[in-house]
Structure 1
C-alpha cells in the first residue's frame, strides 16, 4: 500500500515538473551572447550559429560581440550578420602587446555589461562559442542553473585545476571547476565574474613558465587555453560553483551516450563520415592521405626533377628546407617576442619536406604565429625583419620559423635544392627547383613576375612571355656567369613551354589556321587600300577590320599583319606610286590644254577687234 502511494506521488511530481519549471521561468528575461572577430572565418560560423538559434526558437535576444581593430572595421563587410555590438579588439593586448585573440571573449563580455542597454534588462545570460550548432532552446532554469550556481559543460582536460596552476592563480583552488563550452549564468553572477574572468586570463597568459602540456593540458604548450583557465579561476575567486553537465554538448565524431540527445554540436575538432570530412582549420584534416612525408612548395616555382625525402635526409622531428638568410628576425628582438625558444629559430623557407606527424602538430601553430607576427606592426621595420618594404609581407615566413622553434623542430638546411634564376649556382650542383620570385635577365632580356600581375596569359590562346635568348649566344668567358645565364634561360623557356602545353590542352585553334585567316584579312585590307588611294585611309580600313573580330584573336591578327613580308609591302608601295605618277601626268596635260585654249581664245578676240576698227575709219 505504501509503495503504491509513493509511486502515485512520484508520477504526480513528474507530471507537475514541467509546469513548475515553466512557472519558475515566468518573467525571467534571457539573452544569448557569442564572441567573434572580423573576417570570413568567423562570418560563416556566425551564420550557422544564428540559423540554429532561430530554428531552435531560442527565447530572448541574441548579440554577436564583434571584436575588430579600426583598420579591420573600415573594410569589414559582415556587419549585417545578425544583431551586433562592436567591441574594442584585445587581440593585440593594449598594455602588454601580447597577441592572443581568445581574450576577446571575456573582454567583449565586460564591454557588453558596461555599454549595452540590453545588460540592464536581462536576468539570465547564455554564452556560446561561434563554432557551435544549437539543436534546441537553452533555458538556464530548465538546466538547473541558479543564482550563485551557473550551468556549464564539462571540460575534463583542464587538469590545471588539480595542480600548481590553480594554486598559483586562485585563492580557492578547491573551487576550480573544469568547465567551458556553454555557460548559463545569472546576470548578477556575470557582473561579479566578468572582470575576474578577464584579469585571470591576462594573468595565466603571462605565466609562460607554466604553459607546458603536463601542467595545462594544452597539446601545443603555448597558452592557447589561457582564456578557459581565466574563466575557471575567475569563477573560483568569485565563489561560484557550477552545475556541471557532460551530456548537453558533443563534438561531432564522438559517440553519444545511449538515450542522450545533446543540445549543442561543437565542431571545433575534425570529424568525418565515410570519405567525407570537415574541419574548421586546415587542409590536413580535409584530405585523406597515406603519405609519410609532405613536400610544400610555392606557386612561383619550376620543378627540374623529383624531390624525395630520403634523398635529402628528412626524418620525423627534422624537416628539410632551404636557407633564407635574410630572416634576420631570428637573431633579434622579433624572435624573443614571438617564441619561447629563439635559439631554435631556423632561417628557412621556400621548399619544405616534413613528416606528416610533425606537420599535423605544427600546422595550426604556423597559422597562429603568422597571425601574431602580422599583427605586430611595431616591429615591421626593415632592420628588424629584413623585409625591404617594411610592411610585414614576410610575416608568414616568420610564422613558420617561430612555430617550428616552439615545438623544437630543427631543420636540415640544404643549399642544393633551390636556386633563384639570376644567382650564381654552386659548382656541380643540380638544383631541383627554380624560384622565380625575383627579377632576372640575360643581356637585354629580363623577366619579373610582378610585370605580369594584371595580364591574363592563361586564358588568351597562344600568348606567352618574351622568349629568352638562344643558349648558343651565351659566350661569356666567366664560367659562373655562363652557368647563371643558362639557368635563367632554362627557367624562361620552361615557363613558355608550360603555357604552350596549357593552350594546347585547352584546344586553342592551330597557329597555322590563325595565320591563314590573318592573310585573308590582310588581302581584304590591301584591296581597300587601292580603292582609297591614300595610305592613311587604307590603314584606318585595316583597323576597322581588326576591330570587328573577337577580342581574343585581335592581338594575334594585329601581330600577323605586322609581320607581312617586306616584298609584299614594297609591291603595294610601288603600285601606289604609279597611280600617283599617272594622276600627275593627267593633271599636267589637262592644265596644259587649258592654257593653250585660253591663249588661242585671246588671240581670236584681238583679231576680231582689229578688223572692226578698220571697217569704221572711212565713215570718219
Structure 2
C-alpha cells in the first residue's frame, strides 16, 4: 500500500507514517481511517470489502446508531501530539454527511490530568499497579477500558476503540451490525499458526481456533454492552499471556492484540472484518514489509518522542502514492491550526 519498491532514492519504506496506530508501534506514524463505500445493492460493481459477515446480515444496511470515539493514551509528549492531530480531524469529520461519529473521549491512563484536559475531552483512569505491565505499556489499555466503562456516562450505544495515531480521512459510519462488531483484519495476527500457544487461553471445548478473529482491539466498533462483558476478560488474558514466557516471546508487541481477539472469542463474539476500515502500511504494493529501512525521504513518529514534529513538513517526492501525500498534507493542516503547537511540548 505504500507504492513501488524504487522511487529514485526515496525508498517507500520511509512512508511508515501511514501505518495504523499502535500496531506498528516501533516504526509507524499516523494513520488514515478510510471511508466505508456504500452500495444500494450487491451488483454495484464495487468489490465487496466484507471478508466475513454473517449471511443474514449481508443484505442489511449499516447500523443507524452513533458510536462514541474512545482512544486510550498516556500523558507522554509523544502520545499528546498524536492525540491533538487525531482530535483535530475528528472534529472536522464528525458532522459531515455519512458520519455516525458521536462524542469523543481520550481515556488517559496516567492516573492524573495533563495540560490537554481543556483541549480534548478526557477521562482520567488509573494505570495498572506499578510493575504489573512489565514495561509493556499497552497492557494498560484493557484496564483503562474497564474503568472507563464502569465509571463514565456514555450516551452512545456503540464505541469505536481508536488509537492516538489514527487520523480520520473521511467521515466514518457505524460498520457494526447489532451484536457483530466491526474490525480490521491484520495479516500478522494468525491464531491458527500459534495453535499450541492459543490453546493455553482458549481451550478446545470453546471451539476451533478459527473462531478467533485476526484482529486487535483497534480499530473496532462494538456495542458498549459487549465491550463491558469482554473487557475484564481482556485484562485477565493480557496479563496471563504476559506472565507466560512462551506466549510473551511468540506474540511480542502484538500480545495485547491477541489477548483481545482471544477474549472476544471466549465470549462468543465474532467480528465483521473489513479491509476498507483503514489504510495500514508499512509494506509496499507487493506485500513486502518495509518498516525500519531508511531512504532519502523519511518521517517516523518515533523521531518525535519528546515533543511534536515541526509545522510544514516537506511533502514526499514525486511517485509516492497519493494517500501518503494526503496524510502529510493532513498533518500539516492540523499543526498549522492547532493553537500552541510549537510551544506546548510537555505536561
Match of 1:123 in 2: 157
Match of 2:277 in 1: 248
- Contact 2:73–2:109 (Cα < 8 Å) also in 1: yes
- For residues 127-153 of structure 1, the C-alpha deviation after alignment (integer angstroms, 9 at most, x for no partner) is 11111111112222xx3x223321111
Unaligned runs of 5+ in 1: 1-9, 15-19, 217-222, 258-267, 287-620
**Residues of 2 paired with 1:256 and 1:122: CA distance?**
38
Match of 1:158 in 2: 189
Report whether the alignment pairs 1:177 with 2:213: yes
**Residues of 2 paired with 1:271 and 1:21: CA distance?**
42
RMSD: 3.0
Report whether the alignment pairs 1:106 with 2:142: yes
Please, which of 168, 172, 192 is the counterpart of residue 138 of structure 1? 172
- For residues 142-188 of structure 1, the C-alpha deviation after alignment (integer angstroms, 9 at most, x for no partner) is x3x22332111111212344321211111333321111231011112
- For residues 293-336 of structure 1, the C-alpha deviation after alignment (integer angstroms, 9 at most, x for no partner) is xxxxxxxxxxxxxxxxxxxxxxxxxxxxxxxxxxxxxxxxxxxx
Match of 2:88 in 1: 51
TM-score between both structures, scaled by the size of structure 2: 0.61
- Contact 1:110–1:194 (Cα < 8 Å) also in 2: yes
- For residues 251-288 of structure 1, the C-alpha deviation after alignment (integer angstroms, 9 at most, x for no partner) is 3554569xxxxxxxxxx96688x7321112249xx9xx
SS of equivalent residue, structure 1 residue 230: helix
Q: Which runs of structure 2 are paired with 1:339-354 in the superposition (5 Å)?
A: none
Please, which of 88, 110, 121 is the counterpart of residue 126 of structure 2? 88
Query: Of the two structures, which has the highest relative contact order with CA contacts closer than 8 Å and spacing of 6 or more?
Result: 2
**Residues of 2 paired with 1:108 and 1:88: CA distance?**
7
Report whether the alignment pairs 1:230 with 2:251: no
Report whether the alignment pairs 1:78 with 2:102: no
**Residues of 2 paired with 1:269 and 1:52: CA distance?**
25
- For residues 520-539 of structure 1, the C-alpha deviation after alignment (integer angstroms, 9 at most, x for no partner) is xxxxxxxxxxxxxxxxxxxx
Match of 1:425 in 2: none
Q: Which runs of structure 2 are paired with 1:467-546 in the superposition (5 Å)?
A: none
Please, which of 220, 244, 255 is the counterpart of residue 207 of structure 1? 244
- Contact 2:106–2:121 (Cα < 8 Å) also in 1: yes
State which structure, 1 or 2, has the greater radius of gyration over its C-alpha atoms.
1
Question: Post-superposition shift, 1:100?
Answer: 2.3
SS of equivalent residue, structure 1 residue 184: strand
Closer, same or farther: CA 182–276 of 1 in aligned 2, 3 Å? same
Question: Post-superposition shift, 1:52?
Answer: 1.6
Match of 2:329 in 1: none
Unaligned runs of 5+ in 2: 1-39, 45-59, 310-347
SS of equivalent residue, structure 1 residue 247: helix
SS of equivalent residue, structure 1 residue 64: strand
SS of equivalent residue, structure 1 residue 33: strand
Higher share of residues assigned helix: 1
SS of equivalent residue, structure 1 residue 88: coil
SS of equivalent residue, structure 1 residue 54: helix
- For residues 209-243 of structure 1, the C-alpha deviation after alignment (integer angstroms, 9 at most, x for no partner) is 3333xx43xxxxxx332211110110010101111
Please, which of 251, 276, 281 is the counterpart of residue 302 of structure 2? 281
Q: Which runs of structure 2 are paired with 1:548-587 in the superposition (5 Å)?
A: none
Please, which of 72, 76, 92 is the counterpart of residue 39 of structure 1? 76
Closer, same or farther: CA 129–269 of 1 in aligned 2, 3 Å? farther
**Residues of 2 paired with 1:54 and 1:280: CA distance?**
22
Please, which of 164, 174, 179 is the counterpart of residue 148 of structure 1? 179
Closer, same or farther: CA 202–249 of 1 in aligned 2, 3 Å? same
